[in-house]
Structure 1
Amino acid sequence: MRSFTLPLALAASLGLTMPVAAQGDFEDVIGGIAQTLIQQELDRNAYIAAQEANTARAYRDYLAKFPKGQYRVNAERALERLGSPVEGSPAAAAQIEARLGISFAQKVAVQRELTRLGYRTYGTDGVWGRNTRSAIAGWQRDRNEAATGYVTEAQLRVLLKGAVVTPPADDGTTAGTISAAQTEAALRLTRTQRVTIQRQLSDLGYDAGVADGLWGSRTRTAIKGWQQANRRAATGYMTSAQVRLIAQQAGSAAPPAEEEVNGAALEERLMGLTLDERVDVQRRLRRLGYDPLRTDGTFGAGTRRAIGEWQADEGVAVTGYLTADQVRLIRVETGG
């Protein structure tokens, strides 16, 4: 109430000398200011209450009461972090697409169709990276639809020219044949990625036991608990979207998705490096302080680790696979 003391006192003092009509206008102004201050305080208190509850329902209640509130963006980001993004947002669009269970062959077909229509994906390799997302967004924009860069089931049908799209069932299976365990197996998580996820689960309050990369009953129980808390089917097995969500909630980077790694591997393979060139890369990495263990032209675990460490220090995506530009940069850094 202290905030209103000065305006009210000012109104009282000026009211003694102002004409009656002017007094009425001034009182309306003061009343408007008071109402604004009251609304701001209610807005703030409602957001604090949502923060304290820290649930998707609490944040949605806040947005329903204050759709244009001063903390709207914060509430929307919190919903994304909790895996329950606002409808129509890019994060929600990404979730909708993920539930479609688009196959590799379908992704390739979509890229080819977009290219045929004049939207450049810069590759038809089944990996939907930045260029493919931009192409999808451009296609959506030209259709006067929300340009999210993520496809809906109806849009996918159009791009696949009517081919049937069968989204995963609620129990984690696709068309009754792919189990939750098979879905996780398709991710091909490395031992390091599994250790990271165990640690993230424990950090979030779901005891996964010893973070050794071996997912036994304790880790599976932790995964189920996390899935239930995040309104996912409690299968005890991870999906790609869930791996990313856990990382977001734990405040760390998600392990690279298998499709990202496959895309990087394909990019490296397309360079067609000769045996001598591969040996040269290994030797140059060693000169830079990144030990590949062997310099025989075979890019094994040691070389992949060395490449990843170099990429991390360069501030680029850590895939363990090289691009043509990165090979050139390594040569420059070691004297050409």
Structure 2
Amino acid sequence: MTFRATLAIALVAAAGPAMADNRALILANADYRFAADIDGAEDALAADEPLKDAGFSVVVGADMSAEGMREALAELIVDRDAAERIVILLAGHFVKSERGTWFLGTDARAPDLASADGMGLPLSTVLEIASGAPGGAIVLLGSDQARITLGTGLAPGIGGLDIPQGVTVLSGDAEEIAAFAAEDLPKPGFSLSALATGRPDLDARGYLGALSSFLPMPATEAGEADTTSAERAFWQVTRGMGTVASYEAYLARYPSGLFAPTARAEIARLKAEPARLAEEVENALRLTRDQRREVQRNLSLMGFDPRGIDGIFGRGSRTAITNWQKANGFDATGFLTRDQILQLSAQAGKKAAELEAEAAARRAEEERQDRLYWSQTGAAGDEAGLRAYLKRYPDGLFADLAQDRLDVIEENRRQTAAAQERAAWDRAVAMNTVAGYRDYLAAFPDGAFADEAREQIAALIEEQSGASEREKAAAAEAALNLPAVAKNMAELRLDQLGLKPGRVDGVFDDDTRRAIRRFQRSRGLNATGYLDQETVVQLLSGGIIRFGD
């Protein structure tokens, strides 16, 4: 492959006052040095002239390195907050992790989670820049299935996006995205919803205004020639947002304006659509991804499964919100208000406290029974009593002490056993199989280690019978894909509860598994020793969403 990089900046005068601050960025990365080329990415360059003709100042980059892309993005940021419309078109390789997505420069080489920021543009930054023109911002992402070598923590493609209010994101095949940008987007008089509908192969997310035109018709065609350019520009932004708040803002500024009747009609229509109004109210809260995760945890704690705690309100979360609203006498819109979020948080806090109290009472009773049984069995120090205690309480308060005493008994027995029998027993212990212990018993049915051999056989058979369940539990924990920080938090919480998880290092060893089982038993959960969603929710519950003033 060859490598080239070009950047062209075209700052053109707009056709009229309403188009004076439209800005666009096109980055077409087709020719990668260390990855397969992206077919159709270069087609994105064809959108340059149509966007200029539509009144946009355009920054264009072809086959850009990561550094070159950052320079191009810096050009777009100039006067971003004054822009009425922003178009960002990225065509090339995208990679994703659990928490982010990056657009890679053509010099990217086997990026991993640690190096992705240096080899590409974080889409979170791109979306934040686009948010400077709410209701008039569109981000276009084009790629294909081309192969790329990736390091730890990354996968090819576009992940979940935290899209700011008023920003539209369209993604799909690079050729389709390029055709949309060059042929459809520059057409005046079409809404974002209509434009997206015309390309069903593209994935449309975020804001999709169905009423207002993304690019307005000329004033003479739209019948707006008699109004001032300032009012016309304000109305275009208002229609682009399409919310009750935006129409009310227009009326406050132009109570007798040319579009005042339309604004009042749209307010009445929106208020007559509860779901649309509810969505608008939730969008106005501008919930962060962490706040959405907290909502999902609280819903799960209250018994309304959001199908994942990822900070993205998909179908599962909307269903859980709807069911919670029904249960609490709210209109079942599937969208939350500030007061509802606070009420849910209060309910979850109360539920967490109740669960904690129940767990404390259950632990106290279990410890009482544990101590009582120890006094009746293992406290005397004889082998039979110690084994009886460990069989009932393998993770009990005195389990370590009981095992230590049994080790001493075995060592003493080893010292007194005949050399031949000791050798047979050592072989059985080294094998640690049912067959190995049975071989020992066949040779020494009344040997010094006969009772222990029978105990080990019974334990191994029981362990084998539960292997399938452990595998399922281990797979369920792996499917949670918990980051290291979450594992550390889990161990820290177990330690705070006095459950002795061992070293708090994010590594789940035998001590951690025992602590998890103890916690699960105290909560009435299936005591597998592995984390599942319910265990994580109860273990880490208790946070409260806080809003700014």
TM-score normalized by structure 1?
0.25
Larger radius of gyration between Structure 1 and Structure 2: 2
> Which of the two has greater helix per residue?
1
Please state which structure has a larger fraction of its residues in strand: 2
